[in-house]
Chain A
């Protein structure tokens, strides 16, 4: 097993790396797209704004490498937070920007549904499965995970929404398309349930 955490040059990825290590993975952080060739699992973390992240992904040559491994080689890929959002076709944070186009959908700003609803959505909130999936094995509906975000993934079709969270009237907090997964929360910051998600992901081949 070789887990590769994609470093597109926008921040510290140690906590993601360490969480995967704690879950028993052989994991590296890499800024070299060629490293994906030997990856058994790919992790796309999230730091910063959508447009900046996509610019970096293009500039460092990640775009085609990620798409190739995920689509042609069917390597399991997990996008975390902004990393989940980058899987979409387009995002609007920092101007309309094309995403990786791996899960059909767009990324939009959260819209408060009550005057007391504050954005960003920060803190521990419930996760509910919309579809059952091995990624959620051992996770009870209603389990709290840690969220920090102002934007959310809106899948083009309900079939790609596998999990949801009740905030701003409810948003999709997990997506899937074949071997490609995204979670809006931070498993690496979500205590034992977060580790369970990581372990489940590592068990997907």
Chain B
């Protein structure tokens, strides 16, 4: 009952009525304030049912334990090539549309909760340019950001962290040498260790062949974990090299494995949904986010704020990553968050 003890004076529950600006804090009155006086409360995703049951019983102390106000993060992802942001962002009206520092500043002002810079430079020789970019962003921008793409070794990770990235996101390298995940977590902490997983639906037969091949080589080759209610002839298989290369590894089993190794966050990009803009893949996002106990960032397929609402309410994903809807000015961060807020999804509102 730590929470109870801490807040013996004032209960920091925010009760939102139908009007956003009219949130008021209730003081814990002797005997408790009647819960039914509130029209609605902000709750953390699927604890809603439990809350409602408690509301019915008017059990205060238990209620406190279920209320948590961690907001869902909305994260724009920026593709970077040779230290310059490519694709979109022209609408921001920047003097220099490819300048990562200016773009980060704009997104910070607009209320983005984090940024992801994804380096898509093909050549590994130009890593210094990326480090230079990270250094500039870290010095000029006061918002959290993650850097991914092109990481091969723990030295690449170290260089990024030393340049100022607070989180690094590892993709192909985690499959090639899972040890890099353990090393990163050990050296920079679990919180700094993000792993990207790119699953794609494939027929079970082909998957099994590739899995057997891995097994023969003595590699990590778990059996497929089929998400609840899904046909078992389809497997969600991890792909690497930007989604081109199948690996013979099942997505859910892999997520569990790398969390054990030290991953503190998973960015899950559905290869089926990516670029299609018809919504996140709720099946695999739900499957992965309920199978592991670290935060999951849903990615791939976002075409509207409604898609973000779906993935944040229908799965246990903690955050949503999107690219084109923001970069091409289809929706602003602010209107996206306003939409989510109006639909009962807790987000950080800055305006």
Contacts and interface: CB of A to CB of B under 8 A. Distances in A.
Interface of A: 11-12, 14-15, 18-19, 22, 47-49, 82, 112-126, 128, 130, 141-142, 144, 146, 148-150, 158, 161, 164, 166-172, 186, 188-191, 194-195
**Residue among B2, B73, B186 with the most chain A CB within 10 A?**
B2
B218 to A, nearest CB: 30
B5 interface: yes
A169 B293 contact: no
Contacts of B161: 11-12
A25 to B, nearest CB: 14
A186 B295 contact: no
Contacts of A144: 71, 348
B12 to A, nearest CB: 4
Contacts of A12: 138, 161-164
Given A116-B316, A166-B12, A188-B142, A15 B164 contact: yes
Interface string B153-166: 00000000111101
Contacts of B290: 115
B295 A118 contact: yes
5 contacts: A14-B135, A113-B68, A123-B113, A125-B70, A144-B348
B46 interface: yes
Contact of A141 (B12, B65, B73, B108): B12
Contact of A191 (B14, B46, B189, B350): B350
A196 to B, nearest CB: 12
A181 B292 CA distance: 34
B255 to A, nearest CB: 12
B148 to A, nearest CB: 16
Interface residues of B, number: 60
Contact of A48 (B187, B295, B296): B187
A14 B6 contact: no
B283 to A, nearest CB: 18
A146 B146 CA distance: 14
Interface string B40-74: 00001111001000000000000011111111110
Contacts of A149: 191
B164 A116 contact: no
A148 B144 contact: yes
Contacts of A18: 138-140, 142
Given A22-B142, A114-B44, A120 B12 contact: no
B7 A164 contact: yes
**Residue among A11, A130, A161, A164 with the most chain B CB within 10 A?**
A11
A82 B189 CA distance: 11
Nearest to B297: A122
A191 B108 contact: yes
B12 A14 contact: no
